Amino acid sequence: MAVRNESDIIEQTLTHLVSQGITLAILDSSTDDSFEICRRIVGGAGRVVRQLTDSFQWKTVLRKLYEMALEMNPEWVLLTGADEFLESPYPNLALKDAIESEAEKGYNLIQFNNFEFWPTRDDDTSENDVRKRIRYYSWQDDFQFRCWRVRPDIKMFAGHYPLFDNPGPVRVSPTKFVIRHYKIRSYEHGVRKVFDDRLPRFDGIERKEGWHVQYNNFKRDIEYFVKDSRSLTKYEEDGR
């Protein structure tokens, strides 16, 4: 997990992952208190490294994160964001147990459905838990192969799919896991994140290569950050 100024949500995402049996490797570049929160929650059960930089070079971050993860000698690795909740598709299985279930079936790569949750005027602003406060989402995409069995021919992760060197058989599980993504949590948060903390820091070379395009068309108007709930789907806690 790469972390950059996510202090309002990071405790919730980390606590979720720990409860799901996931050991964490975190690379933090925050100027808020995200780093202290990460160290407190992860403790000695994982690794938290601080690396302050002037720009955001995603390839360098991914390379460092993968090196950190491999130092723990894992059988499986997954990539998650500080504003994401990765979930098992099986109501009775935690994320770690669900991954092990796919491994027993012979699969070595797991695909995710990416659900983007957006603030609306119907949110319960008195609720601190972001999953209870922000309840409306859109399905974004499923080109999210975020979890894979470690093997020597995987050199790095490109953000959505592992990079193979002379790959052996790739067996993708037909069961898609779940990403609940909360990249924008309010209008104020969105403006600060997009215009102060992301766009000015994205690496220029990577942008020319087609990376970091998610905020290209954003303006400071509220409709770019707070959506009409009628255009979204309300999330129900029914396991579906």
pLDDT tens per residue across span 156-212 = 766 688 888 777 789 999 999 999 999 999 999 999 999 998 888 888 887 888 888
Nearest to 199 by CA among 181, 214, 180: 214
Let me know if residue 239 belongs to a domain.
no
Q: What is the pLDDT of residue 70?
A: 92
Let me know if residue 46 belongs to a domain.
yes
Number of domains comprising the chain: 1
Q: What is the pLDDT of residue 4?
A: 94
Let me know if residue 211 belongs to a domain.
yes
Count the neighbouring beta carbons within 10 Å of the beta carbon of residue 166: 6
The mean per-residue pLDDT over the stretch 39-51 comes to: 92
pLDDT digits (tens, 9 = 90+) for 47-101: 999 988 777 778 888 889 999 999 999 999 999 999 999 999 998 999 999 999 9
The mean per-residue pLDDT over the stretch 31-54 comes to: 92
Q: How confident is the model at residue 21 (pLDDT cuts 50, 70, 90)?
A: very high
Q: How far apart are CA 112 and CA 97, in angstroms?
A: 16
Query: H helices of 148-227, where?
Result: 187-191, 204-208
Q: What is the pLDDT of residue 56?
A: 78
- Indicate the average pLDDT of the chain: 92
Q: What is the pLDDT of residue 163?
A: 82
Determine the length of the chain. 240
Q: What is the pLDDT of residue 52?
A: 83
Distance between start and end Cα atoms, the chain: 26
Strand arrangement, sheet containing 177-181: 84-87, 177-181, 112-118, 136-141, 233-234
Q: What is the pLDDT of residue 240?
A: 65
Let me know if residue 216 belongs to a domain.
yes
Let me know if residue 178 belongs to a domain.
yes
Q: What is the pLDDT of residue 59?
A: 81
Does pLDDT of 126 surpass 90?
Answer: yes
Does pLDDT of 237 surpass 80?
Answer: no
Q: What is the pLDDT of residue 202?
A: 84
Domain of 56, in residue numbers? 2-234
Let me know if residue 240 belongs to a domain.
no
Nearest to 53 by CA among 83, 30, 79, 36: 30
Let me know if residue 195 belongs to a domain.
yes
For the chain, percent of residues with pLDDT exceeding 70? 97
Query: H helices of 23-133, where?
Result: 34-42, 58-70, 95-104, 130-133
Does pLDDT of 153 surpass 90?
Answer: no
The mean per-residue pLDDT over the stretch 22-26 comes to: 96
Q: How confident is the model at residue 45 (pLDDT cuts 50, 70, 90)?
A: confident
Contacting residues for 188 by C-beta, under 8 A, at least 6 apart: none
Crossing angle of helices 10-19 and 34-42, in 10° steps, is: 20
